[in-house]
Amino acid sequence: MRTARLRFVPFVLALAPVALAQQTKVLTPHRVAELRAVTTAAMSPDGAHVAYTVSVPRKPMVDEDGPNWTELWVLDLPAATARPFVTGKTDVASVSWTPDGTGLAFLAKRGDDKQNSLYVLPLAGGEALRVVGHATAITAYSFAADGKRVAFVASDALDAGRKAEQDKGFKQEIYEEDFAKGCLWIATQGDGAAKPTQIALPGSAKDVKWSPVGDRLLVAQSPTPLVDDEMMRTRVSIVDLDGKTLASFDNPGKLGAIGWSPDGLRVGMNSAADIHDPSAGRFLTALASGGALVDPLPNYAGDVVASAWQNGDTVMFVAAHGVDSTLEKLDLTASTPPKSIVASGGPILQSVSLSKNGQHAAFVASTPAHPAEVFVMSHGGKSPRRVTNVNPWLDEYRLAKQEVVKFKARDGVELEGLLIRPLDEKAGQRYPLILYVHGGPESHHSNNWLTNYGDPGQVAAARGFAVFHINYRGSTGYGVAFAKSSQGDAAGAEFDDLVDGIDSLVASGLVDKDKVGVTGGSYGGYATAWLSTAYSNRIAAGVMFVGISDALSKVGTTDIADEEFYVHSLQRPWERWQTLLERSPIWYAGKSKTPLLILGGKDDPRVDPGQSRELYRHLKLRGGAPVRLVRYPGEQHGNRKACAKLDFNLRCMQWFEHHLKGPGGEMPAWDLDYEEAKQ
């Protein structure tokens, strides 16, 4: 691949004249519920094929309710013809090529499987062969270079005595104690008589990668499988097949992907810079023989999203730079900055996978015009080329203009966001605004496809709303310092940024200051609750999803109390009781005049459902505006099932249309006619 500097051009949806004439349709919640997306893409070792997975929604009121299906497809290059490999009612995961490139390995529950097993499907066609089955679900795997042996991670099997007790009705749960840790196993393909052998390791295994040279395993393991331990205390080591530790690495804080260089001499990993870094956005490397981890990109003003080894000394990586992304080439033997291969301004790259010779790449990427698709690029190419279209019907739909907006916060900090303008905007007219706030806050908005069941995006724009997405301080994609800039100041300058962003659009003449709504999930739900109470005089309607309302009780009811301490608050609640109370939306419930719709999963372990109930009750008792609480049984921190996602989307739009464009006042009816809503 050679360096390619791409000139930024405004986003234009290119269509043939006939298709353009047919573009009379606009997106609705029901159409959003049908959107497919590519989720992973793996380039074959010879660079001739791309294996990719597609997330396929179930059809509400038609299919049995549940989460999206995941299908496996293979793209034959250079003709870019796609072949279905495993499709229909299936859930394929962890797709990879076998070492010789003749087959595709994946995890799935098929036939009489009771849990995920490891399968291999020949590229030439035929039936998928189960190569490893286990008493518990396989969650990660890696082949040895010989293609015969495989290391895999699976949890402890339930003790026979305990299983018998459960069958008799003793189903009590011992909170945070009766977990099953991840164990590391070795199996041999084709030897049905041989049982997998366990490698004894301390703690709980999470991921494994077999060295391309020799019998060494790169393992990520945490003290326990509890979420807090996995997020903050997962560490990486190299072990032999007897479990002896050959090298260990003191990677700090959060951990992302791990891997070997092709020659087996180095290891690399996505890691936090330190224990207080909110994201695993640094690429760290070390010699496989042992030694300290090195950050070859110190003070890098972006986040490494994904990486792939081109050879023993060179790494290709995708980086987030604010609302843009880049592809860069890093020479570990040189002291020069990384070389730009694909500059910002193009599709937003989410992953990268290379052929064995490092000359062909596959990406998952999206643009403002479409959800994630497969893109490819070879050495000498100028830019990634889109080669799939999993939503061909979307070409017939009119989409509103999406643009990057930059503004200054009240203290002078420069910020940026993405604005989706009203679809049929008229010059000089002011419009209602929906501010969508991302969660985390260790997350960010990119200039790609933004519309989903929780983000009104193009659906709201088609109905005459402007929709604004702000990368407020604490967002990722701008380097470690910016991601840390909101720590210890929850609901402070970070949420003032949101109000300043609204003011910038009001000042531009686009937005009606009296018709501003806000929505978001998790930390975005916290922002929604805060703006709907503390800033109630500025917000005309809010839709809060799995959000925080009581900063004190949140710490005592979440499964990530340590993660919150290290990368958010920097103090424990007992060190500042009063401060946390005053940073809680319930503290301001008595001054709220904002109609608020509160929604969330009934089984959420991250933000306890009690957070929603607390705010609902405080607003009912003390607030001066309508409030409604909607709970989704079986859903956790975000909706996964088709009906719950569609219901959320419909209620969100109903609430904003009623309070920002309609009569307002009393709440709209709580019961929905899902068939009528299709129209």
Enumerate domains of the chain plus CATH numbers.
398-678 (3.40.50.1820)
**Measured between alpha carbons, how far is residue 555 from residues 176, 223, 572 in Å?**
16, 21, 9
Q: What percent of the chain has pLDDT over 90?
A: 91
Mean pLDDT in residue range 399-428: 98
- pTM, two decimals, is 0.94
CA-based torsion, 583, 584, 587, 592: positive or negative: positive
Mean pLDDT in residue range 632-644: 97
Euclidean distance between CA atoms 360 and 42, whole angstroms: 11
For 495-512, write each residue's pLDDT tens digit.
999 999 999 999 999 999
Confidence of residue 161 (pLDDT cuts 50, 70, 90): confident
For 457-479, write each residue's pLDDT tens digit.
999 999 999 999 999 999 999 99
Euclidean distance between CA atoms 24 and 22, whole angstroms: 6
CA angle 495, 498, 501 (to 5 degrees): 150
Confidence of residue 450 (pLDDT cuts 50, 70, 90): very high
Mean pLDDT in residue range 145-154: 96
Residue 193 scores a pLDDT above 70: no
The confidence score (pLDDT) of residue 20 equals: 41
Residue 487 scores a pLDDT above 80: yes
Euclidean distance between CA atoms 80 and 392, whole angstroms: 15
Mean pLDDT in residue range 297-311: 96
CA angle 41, 46, 51 (to 5 degrees): 20
The confidence score (pLDDT) of residue 679 equals: 65
The confidence score (pLDDT) of residue 5 equals: 27
Torsion angle in degrees (nearest 10) through CA of 473, 431, 646, 92: -50
Confidence of residue 23 (pLDDT cuts 50, 70, 90): low
Residue 609 makes CB contacts below 8 A (sequence gap 6+) with 600, 601, 602, 603, 631
Euclidean distance between CA atoms 20 and 31, whole angstroms: 19
C-beta of residue 561 within 8 angstroms of C-beta of residue 567? no
CA angle 455, 446, 505 (to 5 degrees): 70
DSSP letter for 159, please: P
Torsion angle in degrees (nearest 10) through CA of 394, 400, 405, 410: -110
Euclidean distance between CA atoms 357 and 370, whole angstroms: 31
Q: Which two tokens stand for residue 596?
A: 């608020």
Residue 15 scores a pLDDT above 80: no
C-beta of residue 644 within 8 angstroms of C-beta of residue 613? no
Confidence of residue 16 (pLDDT cuts 50, 70, 90): very low
Kindly state the helix (H) or strand (E) to which residue 165 belongs, with its residue range.
Answer: helix 160-167
Give which of 325, 99, 256, 208 is closest to 317, Cα–Cα.
Answer: 325
Q: What are phi and psi of 488, to 5 degrees?
A: 75, 10
Euclidean distance between CA atoms 207 and 571, whole angstroms: 31
The confidence score (pLDDT) of residue 79 equals: 82
The confidence score (pLDDT) of residue 598 equals: 98
Mean pLDDT in residue range 608-619: 98
C-beta of residue 362 within 8 angstroms of C-beta of residue 24? no
Which amino acid is located at 286 in the chain?
A: A
For 253-283, write each residue's pLDDT tens digit.
999 999 999 999 999 999 999 999 999 999 9
Kindly state the helix (H) or strand (E) to which residue 229 belongs, with its residue range.
Answer: helix 227-232
Q: Provide the CA 510 distance to its chain's centre, in angstroms.
A: 31
Helix (H, G, I), strand (E, B) or coil at 148: coil
Euclidean distance between CA atoms 251 and 264, whole angstroms: 19
3-state SS, one letter per residue, for 429-442:
CCEEEEEEECCCCC
Euclidean distance between CA atoms 602 and 457, whole angstroms: 26
Residue 644 scores a pLDDT above 80: yes
- Pick 191 or 611 by higher pLDDT: 611
Euclidean distance between CA atoms 103 and 121, whole angstroms: 5
The confidence score (pLDDT) of residue 9 equals: 27
The confidence score (pLDDT) of residue 114 equals: 92
Residue 190 scores a pLDDT above 80: no
For 325-350, write each residue's pLDDT tens digit.
999 999 999 989 999 999 999 999 99
Kindly state the helix (H) or strand (E) to which residue 651 belongs, with its residue range.
Answer: helix 642-656
Q: In the predicted model, what is the mean pLDDT of the chain?
A: 94
Query: Interhelix angle for 523-531 vs 493-508, to 10°?
Result: 70
Q: What are phi and psi of 156, to 5 degrees?
A: -55, 140
Confidence of residue 306 (pLDDT cuts 50, 70, 90): very high
CA angle 269, 271, 274 (to 5 degrees): 145
Residue 396 scores a pLDDT above 50: yes
Helix, strand, coil shares of the chain, percent, nearest 5, are 20, 35, 45
Contacts 24+ apart (CB under 8 A), 137-143: 138/107, 139/107, 139/182, 140/94, 140/206, 140/207, 140/208, 141/94, 141/105, 141/107, 141/208, 142/208, 142/209, 142/210, 142/217, 143/96, 143/98, 143/99, 143/105, 143/210
The confidence score (pLDDT) of residue 192 equals: 57
Kindly state the helix (H) or strand (E) to which residue 161 belongs, with its residue range.
Answer: helix 160-167
Q: What are phi and psi of 351, to 5 degrees?
A: -155, 170
Confidence of residue 191 (pLDDT cuts 50, 70, 90): low
The confidence score (pLDDT) of residue 6 equals: 27
C-beta of residue 486 within 8 angstroms of C-beta of residue 473? yes
Sheet holding 182-188, edge to edge: 138-143, 149-155, 182-188, 197-199
DSSP string, 80-102: TEEEEEE-SS-B-EEEEE-TTSS
Alpha helices in 463-594 (DSSP H): 480-484, 493-508, 523-531, 551-557, 561-564, 577-582
CA-based torsion, 80, 85, 88, 89: positive or negative: negative
Residue 4 scores a pLDDT above 60: no
For 221-238, write each residue's pLDDT tens digit.
999 999 999 999 999 999
Rg (CA), the chain: 25
Which amino acid is located at 173 in the chain?
A: E
Euclidean distance between CA atoms 594 and 254, whole angstroms: 37
